[in-house]
Structure 1
Amino acid sequence: MTTHAVSVKRGINIELVSIVWMVIEAAVAIGSGMIAHSLSLVAFGADSIIELVAGAVLLWRLTIEAHGASLARVKSAEKASSWVVGIALLLLAVYIVIASIDKLVTLQGAETSFLGIGLAIASGIIMPYLSRAKKRIGSEIGSKALRADGSCSIVCAYMAWIVLVGVILTALLGWWWIDSIVALALVYYVVKEGREAIQEARGKADACGCGCHDD
């Protein structure tokens, strides 16, 4: 097996690990967020689901390369996936803004979520590791898509730490409004990922981010 083939196999393995974690992250974040009425946790989980879809498409692309098939037949599917991911992210951003404003106006706050705290800490530790691995392997096989997915993973880590600040402040100080403020802070990253995915779907050069799946 050539060095390139070994690196592609490593790329497949790291994507499998990433997908498994995204499933866990989405389930725990949305579940704990609904229990604690935490908009930031639910939004974090929804973003994980969208990243899961993007990761699955990239896994497909790597698997096809590993089997020696042409990548031409998956380009249309990759483009369609980028449109779906991009539009879903922008709709998620709109939901976060509307829900946050509603919660602030009606004085609705989140409850303490120790499960959410644990998840945010775990994501903040795991995602930087996955990011470094994806970028290293992406460089080895010349895959812009895998390197871009690595950038997406580090953004997920930033989001995790932002959520962590919110749930800790809620637990320690009981600030009812902090959850909505933290959720609004996530909008920047969600919109950025959404715009990059749509740029990739439109074939814009140098588009980079979670929606990038093309080399």
Structure 2
Amino acid sequence: MCADGCCAPPPAVAPDRRAVLVRRVRLLVVATITYNVVEAVIALTAGTVASSGALIGFGLDSVIEVASALAVAWQFSGRDPEARERRALRVIAGSFFALAIYVTVEAVRTFFAAAAPESSRVGIVLAAVSLVVMPALSAAQRRAGRELGSASAVADSRQTLLCTYLSGVLLAGLLLNALLGWWWADPVVALAIAGVAAKEGRTAWRGEHCC
């Protein structure tokens, strides 16, 4: 249960207002997909060059955010979005679990191999930009999703918000490696990303996102 009552059934939404909210969700989905495609390409490329598991994990999270946004786009492309909600949530949950497994394996491998990643200025800039962009997108998604009473839209907003937290953690890890040479901060950050992803996957699978 939610202490603030956010899980209570939402009030009925007038048809005109509902149409506006559905269009808003669709536009936000397009914005999320566009940004995350760019973010994924940059993060995966920079992560591969620097052999950074944290950056690669961040890039994969961006790929999964695209999959999540596409699931929501598919849901709201039909005449009855509620009928597709459970399947959309399953896709979102599965993408979280896949990220958690992959990043955990790579982080453990990097840590025990003591393979020091190189510093990445590109990754530092990317993480800083995401700290600004992602909170705004997430807040807009969450407001529209709650008013619509859509658990999948709220779940997608949580995934976008997750990217904000991951951006902060990633930025800290990359700076520690670049400024202090703490290479082990990279796999530690990757494991943190995996842990949060697993938690979010479980929440989405159970359909527990507040709307």
Category of TM-score, reference length = shorter chain: 0.7 to 0.9
- Provide structure 2 residue ranges, at least 5 long, that are not aligned to the other structure: 1-14
Cα deviation, 1:108-144, whole Å, max 9, x if unaligned, reads: 1111111111111111111100111111222333323
User: What residue number does 1:203 align with?
Assistant: none
| CA spacing shift, 1:170–1:18, aligned 2, 3 Å | same
| CA spacing shift, 1:9–1:168, aligned 2, 3 Å | same
2 CA distance for matches of 1:143 and 1:82? 10
User: What residue number does 1:125 align with?
Assistant: 132
2 CA distance for matches of 1:97 and 1:148? 23
2 CA distance for matches of 1:130 and 1:194? 20
State the identity %: 33
**Residues 102-121 of structure 1: matches in 2 within 5 Å?**
102-121=109-128
2 CA distance for matches of 1:73 and 1:101? 40
- Mean CA deviation greater in 16-25 or 148-157: 148-157
RMSD over aligned CA atoms reads 2.2
Letter in structure 2 aligned against 1:125: V
1 CA distance for matches of 2:140 and 2:42? 24
Cα deviation, 1:39-59, whole Å, max 9, x if unaligned, reads: 001011111111211111111
- Mean CA deviation greater in 2-11 or 119-128: 2-11
**Residues 176-195 of structure 1: matches in 2 within 5 Å?**
176-195=183-202
2:64 is the counterpart of 1:54: no
2 CA distance for matches of 1:6 and 1:191? 33
Letter in structure 1 aligned against 2:151: K
Cα deviation, 1:152-181, whole Å, max 9, x if unaligned, reads: 211110011100101111111111211111
Taking structure 2 as the reference length, the TM-score comes to 0.84
Letter in structure 2 aligned against 1:70: D
1 CA distance for matches of 2:164 and 2:82? 33
Taking structure 1 as the reference length, the TM-score comes to 0.82
Cα deviation, 1:82-107, whole Å, max 9, x if unaligned, reads: 44443443243233223222222221
2:38 is the counterpart of 1:38: no
Letter in structure 2 aligned against 1:157: T
- 1:194 is displaced (CA, Å) by 1.9
- 1:73 is displaced (CA, Å) by 6.0
Give the count of matched residue pairs. Answer: 197
User: What residue number does 1:74 align with?
Assistant: 84
